Amino acid sequence: MRGRRRSGIVVAIVGAGSSYSPMIVNELFRRQVRLPVAEVRLYDINRDRLRTVAGFCRRLIDSGLPIATPASLAKAVEGADFVLSQFRVGGLQARHRDIKLGLKYGLIGQETTGVGGYAKALRTIPATLKVCGAMRRHAAKGAWLVNFTNPSGIITETVLKHGGVNVVGLCNGPLGVMRRAAQALKVRPQDVVVDYVGANHLGWVRSVRVNGRDRTAAVRRRYVTHKPKNIPYLEPNQLFERALGAPYSSYLKYYYYTDAMFRTIAERKRSRAQEALAIERTLLRKYADPRVRQIPAELSKRGGGGYNLVAADVIEALVNDLGTVHIVNVRNAGTIHGVQEDQSVEVTCRVGRNGARPMFPGSIPAHMRGLLQVVKAYEELAVEAGVTGDLEAALHALVIHPLGPTAEQAGDLLRDLLRVNRAYLPQFGEKAVARFFKGEE
């Protein structure tokens, strides 16, 4: 910690204009006894929206925590022990354009995988590196970046390779998987240890233990397929699901049921981004109402349930050296055989003062490994393209993704993607892009 001494930690939220911010502020307030917080700093480039969200946060906790709204990123992270990243470059409008771009080429444009996830990653990587730079210069010694910004796996891998700060990547999805496993077994979630393995939004359950006893077979018999709010629900193929056996990330349905998922998305009158934007407008209107002092019911429709718990649980484990079990994104470092050492994976870990330590290293079945390896190769190329502006890497990333275009389409799609997102892609110089598509060296 640099500068003055203080009691309690400083938590900075970057992208605090998000409608999710009140959940995390409220959770930090609720845990004050075991997780003392000296100050919460809310930062967002949209100052009007930030004022609305910050005002609601103060009413929500009745000013029970000091909340500041610094005007610059440097001031936001100055002396901070934890920086929570939850921003969306280009807003939901960019998410809608991603979906439409995918549909134009007959592809899925979901925000964390396929064309949409790729576009979002390229937009987000430069902003993420700015946050890391600010942390290296101004944050407390040993500060942690707690990343929720999607696509979480790619962004976490970017920080691991190029950020120069401590990072752990989070997602609320695995928490839901663990809770539903506990529900299937009729036990408390805290008594369940799920061996979860894969990458962000591409993970499977290998085994489930309850107080040390293997209950995997029982979960396979009793687990009920989840119907997430932010992913179209499709009737599962019973033969395939029986062969697969264990629970898995809902986002794998984009890979397992691609044609049906594409049809469902294409037939919608409104994209998921448009639906989310309508919910956001309602939430911001309520946040701005001085009479509103409770989190509105509409927030549950945004699909971020448990986000606040995951973030607070991991911060508490890091601060208090709890050694508790969490499913997080970390450096592979030999955890999953067949995945590069320096790549990010989403696995079950024990989390304490020194970070997250994977609990179940080893090999994984071929049907998991094959898909995971190709998606991790795509993510490796996406990080390279997003950091350096390498256009060949950008093109290869599109072609090798299981939900990506063929080589015949890829050049046109990449040209469209770069054009539509021009304002958010400083790593791709206009002259270099022009030469690339003209075939010039």
The tokens describing 115, both together, are 């064309």
Residue matched to tokens 């610059």: 72
Among 105, 251, 257, 287, which one carries the catalytic annotation? 251
- List the beta bridge partners of residue 344: 331
State both tokens at 180: 């539903």
Calpha distance 378→118 (Å, rounded) = 9
Closest CA to 141 of 84, 77, 81: 81
The DSSP result for 354-373, as a single string, is TEEEES--B---HHHHHHHH
Query: 302-339: string of b/e by CB count within 10 Å (b at 16+)?
Result: bbbbbbbebbbbbbbbbbeebeebbbbbbbbbebbeeb
List, in sequence order, every beta strand (DSSP E) within 1-57: 9-14, 37-43
DSSP single-letter state for residue 225:
P
Residues forming beta bridges with residue 199, ordered by sequence position:
202
Name residues whose C-beta falls within 8 Å of residue 103's C-beta, 6 or more positions apart in sequence: 109, 265, 266
Residue 346 host element (H or E): strand 344-352
Centroid of chain to Cα 247: 20
∠ CA 158-355-154, rounded to 5°: 20
223 is catalytic: no
93 contacts: CB under 8 Å, gap ≥ 6: 273, 277
DSSP 186: T
Closest CA to 347 of 319, 366, 372: 372
Q: Exposure string (b/e) for 4-40, b if CB count within 10 Å is 16 or more?
A: eeeeebbbbbbbbbbbbbbbbbbbbbeeeeebebebb
Report, as residue numbers or ranges, the catalytic residues. Answer: 251
